[in-house]
Structure 1
Amino acid sequence: MAAPALIALAHGSRDPRAAATVRALVGEVRAQRPDLRIEAAHLSASRPSFEQVVDKLVRAGHEEVVVVPLLLNDAHHAQVDVPAAVAAASERHPGLRVRASRILGLEPAFLQVLDERLRDALRHARVRELDALVLAAAGSGDALANQAVARLARVWGSRHRLPVTAAFASAAPPATGEAVRAFRGEGRRHIAVASMFLAPGAMTDRAAELALEAGAVAVSDPLGAHPEVARAVLARYAVGAVELVPV
């Protein structure tokens, strides 16, 4: 029996860089598992849509699908939009068995990716010294999601033995500029910002702009199509595929 198809489901963005990043990530996932049928899809704005991809897989004869939401925080999109999309697909295709895995989330392994991206930014900016770090994330109206970012920031800071704070691009304080200014108010002058976002877009651009205006010495690129992120996608898929097995 063929393995379930995998849909890597992104939120979607009008920024073409976001869709390009999702395509590149799916390419990395395919390189790691060439035996699987793997497709990218989006909840909104970008194409192909989730509905289009599900319809294509059904036409190709697939009867089982695992949906891996490419989301880093467990907030509204994860709790409402993804389940609604999966339920609609199941209703539209009664013979299809579709299962959503848990989101990518804030994997501790992603700290390795953050470090790589930040080292690249520091090298480009010719920065050799740091005395504080800011972990920038999207932010949410869900306090628990923001607390998860703050916990990861503390773990990251302890690895580097530097003070660190979480900052958010929307929905919750502090913004990246506020976080940088707070450190500067303590007398720190070599503050770098790491971008805990999957892909670039208007939100990441604004977070970087505010941080640099406030005096940050470097801002890293988002996680992007890193092999570690692809491995996390496949780990979510593996659990979802097992859950599709009839008991």
Structure 2
Amino acid sequence: MNSRIPLVALAHGSRDPRSAATVHELVTVVRALRPGLDVRVAFLDLSAPRLGDVLTGLHNEGHREVVVAPLLLGRAYHAKVDVPGAVAETVTRLPRLSVRIADVLGPDPRLESAALRRLAAAGALPGDGKLGVVLAGAGSSHAPANAAVHQLARRWSFGAGWAGVEPAFAASTQPDVPTALARLKARGAQRIALASWFLAPGLLPDRVAAAALAGGLDTVVAQPLGDDPEVAELVLHRYAEACAAERRNITTLVG
């Protein structure tokens, strides 16, 4: 890993201040894991600082290489369009700055481990045959981005000893939370645990939590993945992959 190349941890941004606060908490853990690495926070929209401002600042400080690590759980529209578009818009103004975009965070077993830890912390332990688990994600019109949630729910269904595990989405696709709840009730669930496939709090996590709590069963809600240490390790792993690709000269340069 080339620690001389700054890492820009890029989140989408939100009007909810809890979201930006959680991103900063995660980056604090990243810095603690790699003290010699220059790690900055940036946002695509709705929160500050914006990506263009951070890249411009790094350029003005004399940096000529940067790795941007999208804090996204899957390869949907933001990863495919928004992130490269925002990077390209900036580097056209900064032709001496080479920006490499790391892979998104998911899928990766470390995210699954973090989600299970959040679920256990909320009181949902394996072996509770009366507990139904809803694994809730944002949802996307890009079907492969939703597939990871479906696959994870299927994997959790085997061996955990719960009444069942159902995927649900906040927007753009089905099933929604009420549908997942109905399926779990039909399988005998008497209590519900909402597992979070979100990085940070915000409108969509609040939406699925409200729907779960309105479902008529005793319900616990797990926190988003946030500053879990394995999420921080994964950010550094994506950074390392981008640096290794640079050394192999196979990375895609933007600009």
Instruction: Calculate the TM-score normalised by the size of structure 1.
Output: 0.93
d(CA) in 2 for partners of 1:47, 1:62: 21
Deviates more, 1:139-148 or 1:83-92: 83-92
d(CA) in 2 for partners of 1:89, 1:156: 42
Judge conservation of contact 1:13–1:44 (CA < 8 Å) in 2: yes
Q: Does 2:180 correspond to 1:154?
A: no
- Residue 41 (structure 1) aligns with: 42
- Residue 205 (structure 1) aligns with: 206
d(CA) in 2 for partners of 1:172, 1:231: 30
- Residue 221 (structure 2) aligns with: 219
- Correspondences of 1:115-130 after superposition (within 5 Å): 115-122=116-123, 130=130
- Residue 239 (structure 2) aligns with: 237
Unaligned runs of 5+ in 2: 250-255
Q: Residue 41 of structure 2 aligns to a residue in which SS?
A: strand
Judge conservation of contact 2:198–2:205 (CA < 8 Å) in 1: yes
Amino acid at match of 2:235: V
Deviates more, 1:109-118 or 1:227-236: 109-118
Shift of 1:37: 0.7
* Runs of 4+ displaced beyond 4 Å: none
Report percent identity of matched pairs: 45
Amino acid at match of 2:181: V
Judge conservation of contact 2:129–2:161 (CA < 8 Å) in 1: no
Shift of 1:59: 1.4
Judge conservation of contact 1:106–1:152 (CA < 8 Å) in 2: no
Amino acid at match of 1:245: R
Judge conservation of contact 1:190–1:217 (CA < 8 Å) in 2: yes
Judge conservation of contact 2:52–2:87 (CA < 8 Å) in 1: no
d(CA) in 1 for partners of 2:106, 2:17: 23
d(CA) in 2 for partners of 1:8, 1:36: 12
d(CA) in 2 for partners of 1:238, 1:49: 23
- Correspondences of 1:1-247 after superposition (within 5 Å): 3-122=4-123, 130-162=130-162, 163-214=164-215, 215=217, 217-245=219-247, 247=249
- Residue 252 (structure 2) aligns with: none
Amino acid at match of 1:93: L
Q: Residue 92 of structure 1 aligns to a residue in which SS?
A: coil
Instruction: Calculate the TM-score normalised by the size of structure 2.
Output: 0.90
Judge conservation of contact 2:14–2:202 (CA < 8 Å) in 1: yes
Amino acid at match of 1:150: H
Judge conservation of contact 1:132–1:183 (CA < 8 Å) in 2: yes
Deviates more, 1:208-217 or 1:158-167: 158-167
Shift of 1:238: 0.3
Distance 1:245 1:96, change over 3 A: farther
Judge conservation of contact 1:9–1:68 (CA < 8 Å) in 2: yes
Judge conservation of contact 1:117–1:223 (CA < 8 Å) in 2: yes
For these two proteins, the number of residue pairs brought into alignment is 243
Q: Residue 206 of structure 1 aligns to a residue in which SS?
A: helix
d(CA) in 2 for partners of 1:97, 1:44: 22
d(CA) in 1 for partners of 2:15, 2:135: 25
Shift of 1:100: 0.2
Judge conservation of contact 1:193–1:216 (CA < 8 Å) in 2: no
Shift of 1:88: 1.8
